[in-house]
Chain A
């Protein structure tokens, strides 16, 4: 013991800074959850740069295309990642997207509500459903996998049944005309930086249509939402007390409770988060397509979880990052669009998705062992 304390003493005398240097920058990087996703996205871009560099994939129009797909997935992946860090799953994300879609469309088209009220109505429903998911998981102690799997079926079934009951079919079109002059809808339906694209077009720097307007008209709303949510989620996780509570709730529920973290409240709020993110996704898609479809969002929950896992989230909770999930979404979005520009049959996309996820899980598992192993 005395030998040990002496050595500690001498280390302290010589200052702690030199001990700090012993951790190599590589090691610090390895401890970041988003490392795998960062490497993966760089590889993906290099691959398509070589294979599809001259096909128009990376033109303004092509880029916005795959960014749009990535961003849509990213919006739900970030919320799913935060929930996973908090130690739970939400399998009802996809069904929530479909449900939110008809919550917007039916009141607006069949009941004559102004579009903005039906959007608010959809968000209110999302908060309720998220709260219900959360309270069920927290109060019963059942695995969220089961509770939200039940919600997956309930919501999808209710969406289909209600829509058919009210409209007699499974699609609700006719929303596009309502978007103009609506005080809220523009938030989900406006391309931004249009002046930039008009200017770029007038300079002949980007591709034009035959009538002289640029092919790419502006940054789609999904991309703006995606960037804003990534920044917001990262800020919450890294910089706020609530963020620390999310990590603590997912890392060790009992321990966190014992030191005064309101674990139940944290988890409920995260379930509300995934439901609200699904509704943002639904708003963007419904207003873009001009119609709601009862099957919209099918299987999206699994893609969101896959993106979060590729982004470094552990399935056991307590570890992960929003930036990682965002990168995971970019990988999937880029590949799903990029594959059209290559000679590869698009059927292979799902094979890639699965393989990518498997590699990510193995990699994450290794990282976790590294992080938690004792000296």
Chain B
């Protein structure tokens, strides 16, 4: 048994002539939070969809618990335990917390043909799970629309964990949130990892990634610029790598120039 729970080795994905991903390698241990950083268009979305089984990689292999895996559909990825929480969260705001929590996987009871959705049981589980995160669901039948952005994010993550995710892929979980809400979500992510999950946190916000991440993979124009342990890299270094370094330097020069002209 290797020390890694899941390995993505030399993943490449092409769309016609476009090279969306080239030789991206990521390895995760249990309990590790790996932050996948990259600017817009760096290939983050393609990578997520490849991890989630939406796209098949054109090159490379996915090894999960020492077995080579090929996903034919998102369902396959879910079944072996790769839970993906997309940016849109897959939550329906008009539906209740419980109905959202169990959407697509409702517990049932009763005889065949008369099977009913076991709402009582579902309510209890949903309230209990949300309680564990510290979100006080006053009434699990309240609409998700009444929850805050952070709470919704936590609900989506909690749902993925409940349904057996061992690897959690989170797509920009903090991008739409304020500081307070974001820290609530980040705290929950750390807690989930401490319980033995491997987490891939996709973000373009280094300030959110740096405090919680154990390792950082930087993606730029479809290629990995390497994976770095936290002790080996500083926040500023990450930031400059992400933005393509020289571009920020250029900006700085330009700003100085503008400043100079303005002062004159």
Residues of chain A having any CB pair with chain B under 8 Å: 1, 4-5, 8-9, 11-12, 16, 19-20, 22-23, 31, 239-241, 243-245, 247-248, 251-252, 254-256, 258-261, 314, 318-319, 368, 371-375
Q: Return chain A residues, CB-CB under 8 Å to B95.
A: 244, 247-248, 251, 318
Asked whether B136 lies within 8 Å of A16 as measured between CB atoms, the reply is: yes
Asked whether A251 lies within 8 Å of B136 as measured between CB atoms, the reply is: no
Asked whether B75 lies within 8 Å of A252 as measured between CB atoms, the reply is: no
Task: Give the docked Cα–Cα distance between A61 and B247 (Å).
Answer: 84
Nearest opposing residue in chain A for B146, CB measure? A375
Interface residues in B201-248 by Cβ distance below 8 A to A read none
Q: Return chain B residues, CB-CB under 8 Å to A11.
A: 136
Task: Give the docked Cα–Cα distance between A260 and B104 (Å).
Answer: 5
Q: Return chain A residues, CB-CB under 8 Å to B105.
A: 259-260
Interface: B145 (CB within 8 A): yes
Asked whether B92 lies within 8 Å of A251 as measured between CB atoms, the reply is: yes
Per CB-CB distance, the 3 closest pairs between chain A and chain B, nearest first, are A372-B145, A251-B92, A255-B90
Asked whether A259 lies within 8 Å of B116 as measured between CB atoms, the reply is: no
- Distance in Å from the Cβ of B208 to the closest Cβ of chain A? 14
Q: Taking A247-B92, A251-B92, A259-B104 as contacts, is the C-beta distance between A239 and B145 under 8 angstroms?
A: no
Task: Give the docked Cα–Cα distance between A244 and B183 (Å).
Answer: 32
Asked whether B147 lies within 8 Å of A259 as measured between CB atoms, the reply is: no
Nearest opposing residue in chain B for A239, CB measure? B116
Nearest opposing residue in chain B for A371, CB measure? B143
Task: Give the docked Cα–Cα distance between A368 and B145 (Å).
Answer: 10
- Pick from B84, B138, B148: contact of A19, CB under 8 Å: B138
Given contacts A20-B138, A240-B115, A255-B88, 17 further A-B contacts (CB under 8 A): A5-B134, A239-B116, A239-B119, A240-B117, A241-B106, A244-B99, A247-B95, A254-B88, A258-B84, A259-B103, A259-B104, A260-B78, A260-B105, A318-B94, A368-B94, A372-B93, A373-B145
Asked whether B106 lies within 8 Å of A252 as measured between CB atoms, the reply is: no
Asked whether B115 lies within 8 Å of A372 as measured between CB atoms, the reply is: no
Q: Return chain A residues, CB-CB under 8 Å to B104.
A: 245, 248, 256, 259-261
Asked whether A256 lies within 8 Å of B90 as measured between CB atoms, the reply is: yes
Q: Return chain B residues, CB-CB under 8 Å to A31.
A: 143
Q: Return chain B residues, CB-CB under 8 Å to A4.
A: 180, 184
A to B CB contacts below 8 Å, 10 in the list = A8-B135, A241-B108, A244-B99, A254-B90, A255-B92, A255-B103, A259-B159, A260-B105, A373-B145, A375-B147
Number of interface residues of B (CB under 8 A): 42
Q: Taking A22-B138, A240-B117, A241-B117 as contacts, is the C-beta distance between A256 and B92 under 8 angstroms?
A: yes
Task: Give the docked Cα–Cα distance between A261 and B84 (Å).
Answer: 15
Q: Is the interface of A mostly helix, strand, loop or mixed?
A: helix
Interface residues in B138-174 by Cβ distance below 8 A to A read 138-139, 143, 145-149, 159
Q: Return chain B residues, CB-CB under 8 Å to A258.
A: 74, 84, 86, 90
Task: Give the docked Cα–Cα distance between A373 and B143 (Å).
Answer: 10
- Distance in Å from the Cβ of A243 to the closest Cβ of chain B? 7
Interface: B256 (CB within 8 A): no
Q: Return chain B residues, CB-CB under 8 Å to A254.
A: 88, 90
Task: Give the docked Cα–Cα distance between A251 and B183 (Å).
Answer: 29
Q: Taking A248-B103, A251-B93, A259-B103 as contacts, is the C-beta distance between A20 and B139 under 8 angstroms?
A: yes
Asked whether B88 lies within 8 Å of A247 as measured between CB atoms, the reply is: no
With most chain A CB atoms within 10 A of its CB, the pick from B106, B149, B183, B184 is: B106
Task: Give the docked Cα–Cα distance between A248 and B88 (Å).
Answer: 14
Q: Return chain B residues, CB-CB under 8 Å to A368.
A: 94
Interface: B91 (CB within 8 A): yes
Q: Return chain A residues, CB-CB under 8 Å to B86.
A: 258
Interface residues in B54-101 by Cβ distance below 8 A to A read 74-75, 78, 84, 86, 88-95, 99
With most chain B CB atoms within 10 A of its CB, the pick from A248, A255, A256 is: A255
Asked whether B136 lies within 8 Å of A8 as measured between CB atoms, the reply is: yes
Asked whether A318 lies within 8 Å of B92 as measured between CB atoms, the reply is: yes
Asked whether A23 lies within 8 Å of B139 as measured between CB atoms, the reply is: yes
Task: Give the docked Cα–Cα distance between A239 and B117 (Å).
Answer: 5
- Distance in Å from the Cβ of B176 to the closest Cβ of chain A? 12
| Binary contact track B104-123/A, C-beta < 8 Å → 1, others 0 | 11101000000111010000
Task: Give the docked Cα–Cα distance between A12 and B132 (Å).
Answer: 11
Asked whether A372 lies within 8 Å of B94 as measured between CB atoms, the reply is: yes
With most chain A CB atoms within 10 A of its CB, the pick from B84, B93, B104, B106 is: B104
Task: Give the docked Cα–Cα distance between A372 and B149 (Å).
Answer: 12
Asked whether A372 lies within 8 Å of B92 as measured between CB atoms, the reply is: no
Task: Give the docked Cα–Cα distance between A23 and B89 (Å).
Answer: 27
- Distance in Å from the Cβ of B189 to the closest Cβ of chain A? 14
Task: Give the docked Cα–Cα distance between A261 and B74 (Å).
Answer: 12
Task: Give the docked Cα–Cα distance between A243 and B127 (Å).
Answer: 21
- Distance in Å from the Cβ of A297 to the closest Cβ of chain B? 31
With most chain B CB atoms within 10 A of its CB, the pick from A255, A259, A260 is: A259
